Amino acid sequence: MTTNADAIVRDWFDSVWNKGREEAIDRLMAPGAKVHGLSGPKGDPIIGPEAFKPFFRMFKLAMSDLRVDVVRTVVQGEMAVAHCRVHGRHAGDSLGAPATQNVVEFGGMAMLRIGNGQIVEGWNCFDFLSMYQQLGWVKNPPIPGA
**Domains, the chain, with CATH or none:** 5-135 (3.10.450.50)
- 129-143 confidence digits (pLDDT tens): 999 999 999 988 778
C-alpha span between 42 and 45 (Å, rounded):
9
Interval 31-55: pLDDT, tens: 999 999 987 667 889 999 999 999 9
Kindly report the pTM of this predicted structure.
0.91
List the end-to-end C-alpha distance of the chain, in Å, as a whole number: 55
Confidence at residue 2, expressed as pLDDT on a 0 to 100 scale? 58
81-111 pLDDT, tens digit per residue, is 999 999 999 999 988 899 999 999 999 999 9
Q: Which H/E stretch holds residue 73?
A: strand 63-76
**Contact, 64 vs 79, CB < 8 A?**
no
- Binned at pLDDT 50, 70 and 90, residue 145 comes out as confident
**Predicted local confidence at residue 146, as pLDDT:** 67
